[in-house]
Amino acid sequence: MSVKQIVFLFFFGWVSYSVFAQYPNERPVFRKLDEKLGLSNSNVLCFLRDRDGLMWFGTAYGLFRYDGTRIKSFYNTKDSTSISHNSISKLFLGPENKLWIKNVNGTYDIYDPASEQFARGLDTFTSSYPLASDSVGMMYTDRQGNFWFTHPTRGLTFWDADLARSRVYSAYDRDHPLHSDRVAFLTEDREGKFWILYQDGVVEIRSSRDFRIEHRIKIPRQANAPLANFEMLLDTDGDAWIFDPDRDSGLFWVQKSNLQISKNSTGEGIFRLNNNMVKTIVEAKPGQIWLGTDHGGINIIEKSSQKITYLIDDPVQGTNENLKVVYALFKDPEDIIWVGTHKQGIAYYHQGLLRFAHFQKVFDNPNSLPFNDVNAFAEDSLGNLFIGTNGGGLYYYEKDKNSYQHFVHDPDDPESLTGDIIVDLIIDHSGILWIGTYLNGLGSFDGKRFTNFSFRATQSNGIPGPSIWK
């Protein structure tokens, strides 16, 4: 079997199902985002991917932006155009492509990417687009591109993006009264119906056409918690998963087919959790639900087999750290799952980013592999290897000389390597090496010079996104 065949079968993987499906006994392998890139706080509370493909990290001390090569930090300073508080709890992408940053005090700053400045509070927005209240719980963008704002005590505000005007819904609305003004969460299912979750556990399913109520259900009342800041995920089957990130209430599963509600916790339910403090949730693939817990690691629910797996003592690759306390889970458009932890920084997982360490760096051997974290290979016509790494750039291995040539990205040199996080490599029939990167677009190398192709959202005939792989 040739090197190319080995690479194709084992290293890239590039299949349409997860590692779990290929190898039932395999467990996800997580990698850690290198702190040397500039993430100065390891207590990560939230994630967001903006329309330019940049990743944003909200932490207990500071806001950070990652472009795939380096991290830029934003802190509260005496400058009035800086963020108003350093502890960031939630991130939303709002109207006009502006970033809404919610801090632990519940107040917001709005970031304008054009000026790279922050407006403190919501005055700049509400002066043009009135909201029911400046107190906003969460924001949701529906399939039509309109925005919904929940208010802890003032109902809902709907903002029509096309007409640039607001509509407030409350319990006293004459046409469409809400169950209560205490709205915790809103989302939309695949049929376009809106699910509204209230602080008392009532769930309303409303028509997208006329906003009338089609169903109303209620999750079981929680002891000593008449009201809660519930959150909810609708999976690809239309089932709802409801939890309270502030209390150890476990997880409520609402099945779309019959609206039956079942509680899952350490002591009851089909899926027995190992910890009732659910902090965050994401659907990793259809039917596979990941729960981030406080000291229970990641609980993985497989709906089809009705089994649950716990990832708690699994070390992050290349470290002695584990994912015991998980505050944030986020799945980006490339199906990378980002994990925000308590005091362990950021880890990430993708089914295609596997590493087999048959060759590794040996510090007292100058001819060993220079960089251990490898994502991709390509063999040229001479039998030499291009090696794409996860943050270390590109290496060219000449087997006759047993030596490595190293290429890295230089932001000041447009003809340097496209980006240092390389996720795919392929050589075409003319011998040109094509380089797929994470968040830095596509590149090519003819043996002498690199040519780079960057993602531009406004360019109709360009590459489809900032991250490129098969």
Note whether 367 and 275 are same-domain residues.
Answer: no
Identify each DSSP E strand in 239-336 by its residue range: 240-243, 251-254, 261-264, 278-285, 288-293, 298-302, 307-311, 326-331
- 327 part of a folded domain: yes
DSSP category for residue 25: T
Note whether 81 and 228 are same-domain residues.
Answer: yes
Q: Higher model confidence: residue 133 or residue 18?
A: 133
Identify the three-state secondary structure at position 325: strand
pLDDT average, residue stretch 329-333: 95
Domain end call among 349, 380, 407: 349
Lowest mean pLDDT among 24-33, 121-130, 216-225: 24-33
* Percentage of residues of the chain with pLDDT beyond 90: 67
Domain end call among 349, 366, 381: 349
- 210 part of a folded domain: yes
Give the Cα separation of 385 and 383 in Å (integer): 7
Note whether 66 and 168 are same-domain residues.
Answer: yes
- 74 part of a folded domain: yes
Q: How sure is the predictor about 419, in pLDDT bands with cuts at 50, 70 and 90?
A: very high
Note the pLDDT tens digit of each residue in 385-416: 999 998 899 999 988 888 899 999 998 998 99
pLDDT average, residue stretch 446-459: 87
Give the Cα separation of 324 and 315 in Å (integer): 10
Highest mean pLDDT among 184-188, 315-319, 381-385: 184-188
- Decide if pLDDT at 127 tops 50: yes
φ/ψ of 10, rounded to 5, equals -110, -40
Alpha-carbon torsion, ordered 463, 467, 469, 470, to 10 deg? -60
Note the pLDDT tens digit of each residue in 45-68: 999 999 999 999 999 999 999 988
Question: What integer pLDDT is reported at residue 246 of this predicted model?
Answer: 94
Question: What integer pLDDT is reported at residue 292 of this predicted model?
Answer: 98
Note whether 373 and 429 are same-domain residues.
Answer: yes
- Decide if pLDDT at 140 tops 90: yes
- Cα 81 to Cα 109, 112, 331, distances in angstroms: 10, 10, 30
Q: How sure is the predictor about 26, in pLDDT bands with cuts at 50, 70 and 90?
A: low
Give the CA count within 13 Å in the CB-facing half-sphere of 37: 21
Q: What is the mean pLDDT of the chain?
A: 88
Q: Is the dihedral of CA 316, 321, 325, 330 positive or negative?
A: negative
Q: How sure is the predictor about 31, in pLDDT bands with cuts at 50, 70 and 90?
A: confident
- Is the pTM higher than 0.85? The answer reads no
Q: Quick one: three-class SS letters along 358-382?
A: CCCCCCCCCCCCCCCCEEEEEECCC
Note whether 255 and 383 are same-domain residues.
Answer: no
- Note whether 227 and 199 are within 8 A (CB): yes
Alpha-carbon torsion, ordered 104, 107, 112, 115, to 10 deg? -90
Question: What integer pLDDT is reported at residue 313 of this predicted model?
Answer: 83
Question: What integer pLDDT is reported at residue 318 of this predicted model?
Answer: 65
CB neighbours (10 Å) of residue 428?
Answer: 9
DSSP category for residue 97: G
- Decide if pLDDT at 464 tops 70: yes
- Decide if pLDDT at 14 tops 60: no
Contacts of 365 (CB under 8 A, 6+ apart): none
Give the Cα separation of 425 and 375 in Å (integer): 9
Q: How sure is the predictor about 366, in pLDDT bands with cuts at 50, 70 and 90?
A: low
* Percentage of residues of the chain with pLDDT beyond 70: 90
Q: Higher model confidence: residue 203 or residue 26?
A: 203
- 40 part of a folded domain: yes
- Note whether 121 and 111 are within 8 A (CB): no
**CATH for 293:** 2.130.10.10
Note whether 111 and 127 are same-domain residues.
Answer: yes
Lowest mean pLDDT among 120-124, 333-337, 417-421, 448-452: 120-124
Q: How sure is the predictor about 293, in pLDDT bands with cuts at 50, 70 and 90?
A: very high
Question: What integer pLDDT is reported at residue 222 of this predicted model?
Answer: 67
- 290 part of a folded domain: yes
Note whether 240 and 373 are same-domain residues.
Answer: no
Give the Cα separation of 17 and 191 in Å (integer): 25
- Decide if pLDDT at 10 tops 90: no
Note whether 58 and 106 are same-domain residues.
Answer: yes
pLDDT average, residue stretch 352-360: 49
Q: How sure is the predictor about 1, in pLDDT bands with cuts at 50, 70 and 90?
A: very low
Note down the domain range covering 71: 27-349
- Note whether 322 and 297 are within 8 A (CB): yes
Domain end call among 349, 371, 395: 349
pLDDT average, residue stretch 211-222: 91
Note whether 270 and 391 are same-domain residues.
Answer: no
Question: What integer pLDDT is reported at residue 301 of this predicted model?
Answer: 98
pLDDT average, residue stretch 174-186: 96
Domains in the chain, number: 2
Q: Higher model confidence: residue 76 or residue 372?
A: 76
Note whether 36 and 111 are same-domain residues.
Answer: yes
Note whether 6 and 38 are same-domain residues.
Answer: no
Question: What integer pLDDT is reported at residue 319 of this predicted model?
Answer: 72
- 22 part of a folded domain: no
- Decide if pLDDT at 242 tops 90: yes
Note whether 449 and 301 are same-domain residues.
Answer: no
